[in-house]
Amino acid sequence: MTLSRRQTTTPGRRPRVIVIDDDRAWRALVEEWLGAIGCEVLQASAPVAADDVDLVLVDVPKAREGEPTMIRQLSETYPQARLLALSSCFFPGVKSCGPVAQALGVDAVLAKPASCEAVTSAVRDLLAR
């Protein structure tokens, strides 16, 4: 599967990221990390124009069951945004942009829990593409 999503963020504005995770404490921590690297974190519950979102970071609790409905919905809602899936089902050694990401229909995956360095590095890499 070849993903044809936006190459870079719009010049002159901070990258805009949506974080979707049921764990409020984890979500707040990730939002803090993203803010520290210059991202504007948008609320998933607020109406946001599809082309205003550069990256969606989403928890995928049942990743081993195949491409979740949520991933398809996010791809349709934010077709230009990069998708980064986190899951406790992923092994730490899984290549972030490898076959697991391709099978799920996302741009990259990370094992959860992930460190600040792992999350911010993955976000920077995806936004630079």
| pLDDT tens column, 58-77 | 998 876 665 578 899 999 99
- Name the β-bridge partners of 42: 18
Please give the model's pTM, rounded to 2 decimal places. Answer: 0.86
Question: Where do the domains of the chain lie, and which CATH numbers do they carry?
Answer: 16-128 (3.40.50.2300)
Distances (CA, A) of 50 to 7, 24, 54, 78: 15, 24, 9, 5
CB 110 within 8 A of CB 97: no
| 110 contact partners, CB below 8 Å, separation of at least 6 | 84, 85, 86, 90, 96, 118, 119, 122
Name the E strands within 70-107: 82-87
Ranges of residues in the chain whose predicted pLDDT is under 70: 1-11, 63-67, 94
